[in-house]
Homo-oligomer: A and B are copies of this chain.
C-alpha cells in the first residue's frame, strides 16, 4: 500500500499561492503571489489536509474571474489530493486520502463539503485521484454513461480527444464496443489518440476540411458526440450526426470569451430535423456519485484498460506556470504539481 503514497515532509508553515490581481482573460503567473501563514488547527467538524498534488484545470479560468469563488489575497481555488494530518470530523481519520477543493496551498483546513472524494483505502497511486480517477475521469464516466451510453454498432465522436476527459471517454466507448473517432489539435495528439487511447481513427481539426473529414469518417453519421470545445467544431459535428443522435456538452474550450456574446451558425434546425438530443453536463451537480465512478474507473485502471498521461511538476512555484501552459494547449496529460518534498 505504501508504494502508492509519495514521500512527503511536514511543516508548521503553510505556503499559499494567492490571487493577487483579478485576471483579465486567462490567468497569468503575474496574477498570483506566494505568501506564508502558520498551519491552522482543526475545530469540531474540520480536518487538516497535507496537500500533495495540486491540480491545474481549465475550469480555474472561471474560478479566478469570480470574486465569490476566489477573493483577492485568498489561496487560488483549486482541486488537490492530500493526506489527512489531523481530524475532528468523525468520518475522516488521520492518514486518509482526500480529494477536493483544497486550494493551492500546503495545508488546507477542510470540511466534508469541500471534498469530491474520500479514499480511506487507495488502490492506485495518489496522483491518479486528481486525474483519471478525479474530476476529469469521473466527468467522462458519468457524462458518457448517464447521457449517452455507448454500445456495439454506435459511432462516437469525441472532441479534445487526447485530453484528460476526452481520452477517458474514448477508452470507455471503445471498450463498450463502439466505433470511436477523435478530434484533436495536432498530429502528435492524433497519434496518441490512436496508439495510446484506442481510437479507431483520429483527425487534426486544424488541417483539412473538417466537414468532409467527418462525412468520410462516418458516412452514416455519428450516434454520440462528446463535445468539450463548442464553436465551429461543434457546428460541423452537429451536421454530421445520425438521426436520433445524442450530443453531450461538457466544455466550451473553443470560445475564449463569452463577452461580448459570440455568434455562429444557427443549430436548431439540425436539432429538429435530425431529432437530436443535446445535453449539458456539469460535474459539480454529481458530487454524490464520485465514489461509484471511481470504483469502476479504478477497476479499469488496475486491469490495464485505462491509459492516461500525467505531467507532474515539482514545487509550489511551478503551479502558476503550469496553469498558463494549460491555456496555451501545450500540455500533454493531466497537469499536477507535486509539493510533498518542498
Give the B-binding residues of A (Cβ under 8 A): 227, 230-231, 234, 249-252, 255, 258, 261-282, 285
| CB–CB A262/B266 < 8 A | yes
| Contacts A264-B263, A277-B277 given; does A269 touch B282 at CB 8 Å | no
**B285 and A281 contact, CB distance less than 8 A:** no
Q: What DSSP secondary structure best describes chain A's contact surface?
A: mixed
Give CA–CA (A52, B271) in the complex, Å: 35
Closest B residue to A277 by CB, please name it. Answer: B279
Please report the C-alpha to C-alpha distance between residue A54 and residue B62 in the assembled complex, in whole angstroms: 56
Q: Which of B252, B270, B272, B282 contacts A268 (CB 8 A)?
A: B252
Write out the residue numbers on chain B whose beta carbons fall within 8 Å of the beta carbon of A261. Answer: 265-266
Q: Ordered nearest first, which 5 A-B pairs have the shortest CB separation?
A: A230-B268, A272-B280, A271-B280, A277-B279, A278-B278
Residues from chain B with Cβ under 8 Å of A231 in the complex: 266, 268
A308 to B274, CA, bound (A): 30
Q: Which residues of B contact A270 (CB under 8 A)?
A: 280
Contact, CB under 8 Å: B280 / A274: yes
- Which residues of chain B are within 8 angstroms of A255 by Cβ–Cβ distance? 266, 269
A275 touches B271 (CB 8 A): no
A281 to B, closest residue via Cβ:
B275
Q: Which of B250, B252, B269, B275 contacts A285 (CB 8 A)?
A: B275
A274 to chain B minimum Cβ distance, whole angstroms, is 6
Contacts of A264 in B (CB 8 A): 263-264, 266
Nearest chain B CB to A284 CB, angstrom units = 10
Q: Is the CB of B276 within 8 A of A280?
A: yes
When distances are taken between beta carbons in the complex, the residues of chain B under 8 Å from A249 are 268, 271-272
Q: How far is the CA of A267 from the CA of B231 in the complex (A)?
A: 10
Distance in angstroms from A273 CB to nearest chain B CB is: 7
* Interface pair A272/B252, CB less than 8 Å apart: yes
Given contacts A262-B265, A263-B266, A278-B279, 4 further A-B contacts (CB under 8 A): A251-B272, A262-B266, A263-B265, A273-B282
User: How near does chain B come to A65, taking the closest CB pair, in angstroms?
Assistant: 14
With most chain B CB atoms within 10 A of its CB, the pick from A249, A266, A271, A277 is: A266
Which of B230, B234, B267, B276 is close to A279, meaning CB atoms less than 8 Å apart?
B276
Q: How far is B272's CA from A250's CA once the two chains are assembled, in angstroms? A: 6
**Measured between C-beta atoms, what is the minimum distance from A163 to chain B in Å?**
16
